[in-house]
Amino acid sequence: MRIDPEFKALIPPLSSDEYAQLRNNILEEGCIRDSLVVWAEEGILLDGHNRYKISQELSIPFNVSEISLPSRHAALNWIIDNQLGRRNLTPDQISYLRGKRYLVERGPHGGDRKSTEQNVLLNTAEDLAGEYGVSHMTIKRDAEYAEAVDSLAKTLGPEVRGEILSGDILVTRRSAIEWSKADEETQEEIADELA
Query: What's the number of CA atoms in the CB half-sphere (13 Å) around residue 159?
Result: 3
Largest CA distance in the chain: 58
Q: How confident is the model at residue 85 (pLDDT cuts 50, 70, 90)?
A: confident
Evaluate if pTM is beyond 0.85.
no
Closest to 132 in 3D by CA, of 171, 167, 91, 173 = 91
* Cα(76)–Cα(12) distance, integer angstroms: 14
Asked if the model's pLDDT at residue 25 lies above 50, the reply is yes
Asked if the model's pLDDT at residue 136 lies above 70, the reply is yes
